[in-house]
Amino acid sequence: MHDDRSITEHRLRRVLTERIKPAVHSRPVPLAVERWDAPGEPVPVAEGLAAAYGPCAVGDAWGPAWGTTWFKVTGTVPAEWAGRTVEAVLDLGFDRMMPGFQCEGLVHRADGAEVKGLNPHNDWVRVADRAEGGERVEWYVEAASNPVLVDHTATYEGDRQTSADRPLYRLARMDLTVFETEVWELVQDLEVLYDLMTQLGTGDARRYAILRALDAALDAVDLGDVPGSAAPARAHLAAVLAAPAHASAHRISAVGHAHIDSAWLWPLRETVRKVARTASNVVALMDEHPEFVFAMSQAQQLDWIKTYRPELFERIKKKVADGRFVPVGGMWVESDTNMVGGEAMARQFLYGKRFFLDEFGIDPHTVWLPDSFGYTAAMPQIVRLSGCTSFLTQKISWSQVNKFPHHTFRWEGIDGSRVFTHFPPVDTYNSDLSGAQLAHAARNYREKGRGSRSLVPFGWGDGGGGPTREHLARARRQRDLEGSPRVEIERPDAFFEKARAEYGDAPVWAGELYLELHRGTYTSQAKTKQGNRRGESLLREAELWAATAAVRDPGYAYPYEDLERIWKTVLLHQFHDILPGSSIAWVHREARATYAALGEELRGITRAAQSALAGEGDRELVFNCAPHARRGVPAGGAGLPAGAGEPVTAEERRGGGHVLANGRLRVEVDGRGLIVSAYDLEAGRESVAPGAAANLLQIHPDFPNMWDAWDIDAFYRNNVTDLVDLDALEVTRDGPASATVRVTRSFGSSSVVQSVTLRSGAKTVDIVTVVEWHETEKLLKAAFPLDVKAERSASETQFGHVYRATHTNTSWEAAQFEICAHRWIHLAEPGWGAALLNDSTYGHDVTRDVRPDGGQTTTVRLSLLRAPRYPDPETDQGSHTLCFSLAPGAGIADAVREGHALNLPERTVTGAGPVAPLVAVDEDAVVVASVKLAEDRGGDVIVRLYESRGGRAAATLAAGFPIAEAVESDLLERPLEGTAVGPATPAGAVPLTLRPFQIVTVRLRRA
């Protein structure tokens, strides 16, 4: 037989595109259209409905960037359409190739009720299944003219303050039509079979059976009367559509989904509208399709619907009760996991799961994080302590170098906790259930022979409207279809239950899920990252002192509502395109303002609580909210600081520069303003590698291959400029307490002033760096070449630390050329180590080299600032103050202590006398992460602790108030079956036994 495959395939594509699809909506009758352009920001629905509308016509331009236009559309169903299915087609000027990244609309009835969203693949509105002639149509469309910002070029359209006011869109179509059901079904038949056919091998007989059926169907289509010939054409396809799947076919659990970034190429306020449009589509689709199941993560997004669209929220609640609208994830937002602090990660689950429990009465067990940029090794324990048992991610498929070896596995965290994890082999979280995607999922699945099923999230994301009726049609046809995986629409928990049952002994992956891409997100938008770090620290302070005051002072009221509101705002800004710095300028401008306002409010809460605790008096009390005692002031208490250590001396250095010493460290700053020696006097050991200089600022070109704000590509290292030219060098003294060498430099269009300070009694060299940053596509690093033979580095992560190799033996290690650390990174050889501490920096790199003398230099560098042009062309421009410290001779315990001390400054308050800690722990390895009152408002004290050094620890938690009992709890403050907490003694002492890196939450019930 002659091979005519290409002829039939081409014929099908043309007939489908030019004849059959246009016939789905027939007999178009124009609707009357009027418009009102809302001034400024979006208005409430009632205001939009009541506005004065003016004339408008199809073809008219509308919508400057970020504007809102209300369209009023009216019409009458022709009498001759009685009994027919009638739909309106409302095309705002969509580009069909970019759902979610352009104009969008929400249709309302005249009473303000939502009907459905309008998007490129969802531009229809059902009028009636069986119309009545003369039926009146009246709708109001709230249309958002969001600019298209996906081409990865620098643009000022990403902020309303700098965007142009020219119209971006033209109204394309506003018609009443007859919906030809049989033609629509024919389109679905043809598309499913064509997709399946092209995925089958040319030697597969099934491919040719489909080809001949398609040939016959096309022969049966009357191009002059497609509606009249659709049924006969479909009859030729019935047999090939009825052929059942092979018994061994891969099984796919299809879960409706609409991944919506809580901010990205649009501001937060636009996400509020995006989720309403998508959710209205979803509930409307559920009304027509009882098999449809939809999963929605991010409690914040549902809370927005509850706040701004209460009628829609009530419709969602009914679908949740039916088990078809499924809240998943359990987190407040789909947050970044690399940089979010430990306590903040716990609160993501606390507030997320509480919302789902309070509003829907459900407790999700699946963590849903498809799009975050790598996953911390602390996550499995946090997941388990939140009451979740399963984890889903997708982003690791984006890794540039190494292909992850599993799709279903058990993920083991730093403490040994394991969570059943799935990584969908379809390699997308916005599937359209096409034959190509499903075939890829089956081919790509790496558990063949052990497991047989995978999960596919389907639906247009980011405001693209979510799942469509076309998606559901594909799922129905591929439920049991020869040559295709078996597709079943079902809930995520049903998938995990089946997957765990068949593959309970899935392989184990231990440690972080490092994404070999988007490493620049550890550094971009420094002020957003600084705001997050300081917000987390200020919340710790505010809660600690407010809880202490509430227990000690009957007249003090714990600010439950204020703290919860602030926490939720901080958690929202930890979303995986805000905290990582990969959103438009508008998002980060608002974030900076939000962090500033929250900081003032938190400092006010802290001041009020400390004043209540300190009482009336004229003594200067130092409040220490760090988890370790310092200067004689206990952790979590206030008192008079102990005397300082030896006075700090400052002398001229031979050859230029200055020498600072305090009896513990001697620091030499040379004539270039660089640290050429940081000598540990107690250990008799030099920190800085021979011939090298520390605190060396370095500039690299930074122009990655694609994702500007997201990526740092390895070739940036090929060119480097050391900043050694000096403008000024001077030394200042603060009596015997400290001495500072002040270094001023200029480079490019920028300048920097660094203050290198040694304090009395300190074992750290503190460096405050003030940068006026006006570079473009550059990366600023601070290098510390250390005389340490370290095969691995330790980086602080949530509730512990992770080790990473300093060598590049394998491609996995070489790919980790930029890594994330929280408050510290540590290097050591047996007997001695050093730590580099920071107050708001996350990006680091560690390299090693062997010197001619045989010694090893291990260089740690902090990534301080970047200057990418997309999506914010002014990223990081302006003034920055960054603090970091070198701690020679530090062990892990020192790094933990000094890292907290740098990030949790002491506060001085005038009062009557010392304030005893509310709780105390007698073992420094056990760190108190949080002290607060219980969320149920019952007055119990919640204490969260963790083992910080990676070893076993026995400790006693002492309560500074009478307690009735101590109960180990989960992150939602519910009783937990565990063994870490022993029974409290009559004196209020609670024995604790912790395994390495274990997190323990203790609920202390007040007597």
Q: Which residues are catalytic?
A: 371
Distance CA 583, CA 604 (A): 30
CB neighbours of 20 closer than 8 A, spacing ≥ 6?
Answer: 183, 186, 187, 190, 221, 226, 230
User: Are 745 and 780 in contact, with CB atoms under 8 Å apart?
Assistant: no
Sheet of 832-838: strands edge to edge? Answer: 728-734, 738-747, 750-759, 765-773, 878-888, 832-838, 824-829, 792-797, 800-805
Which DSSP symbol is given to 876? T
Question: Three-state SS for 706?
Answer: coil
Give me the torsion for CA of 283, 286, 287, 288, rounded to 10°: 130
User: Are 761 and 892 in contact, with CB atoms under 8 Å apart?
Assistant: no
Distance CA 364, CA 368 (A): 10
Question: Three-state SS for 317?
Answer: helix
CB atoms closer than 10 angstroms to residue 86: 26
* HEC profile of 442-497: HHHCCCECCECEEEEEECECCCCCECCHHHHHHHHHCCCCCCCCEEEECCHHHHHH
Which DSSP symbol is given to 68? E
User: Are 741 and 729 in contact, with CB atoms under 8 Å apart?
Assistant: yes
Q: What angle do CA 887, 770, 729 make, to 5 degrees?
A: 80
Angle at which helix 5-15 crosses helix 205-220, to 10 degrees, equals 40
The H-assigned helical ranges of 489-559 are: 492-502, 526-552
Distance CA 315, CA 320 (A): 9
Residue count (the chain): 1007
Distance CA 80, CA 702 (A): 65
Distance CA 818, CA 619 (A): 48
Q: Count Cα atoms within 13 angstroms, Cβ side, for 174.
A: 25
User: Are 715 and 697 in contact, with CB atoms under 8 Å apart?
Assistant: no
User: Are 1002 and 967 in contact, with CB atoms under 8 Å apart?
Assistant: yes
Amino acid identity, residue 502?
E
User: Are 389 and 495 in contact, with CB atoms under 8 Å apart?
Assistant: no
863: tokens are: 């990534």
186: tokens are: 């024919």
Q: What b-and-e string marks burial along 774-806, b requiring 16 or more CB atoms within 10 Å of the CB? A: ebbbbbbbbbbbbbbbbebbbbbbbbbbbebbb
User: Are 492 and 295 in contact, with CB atoms under 8 Å apart?
Assistant: yes
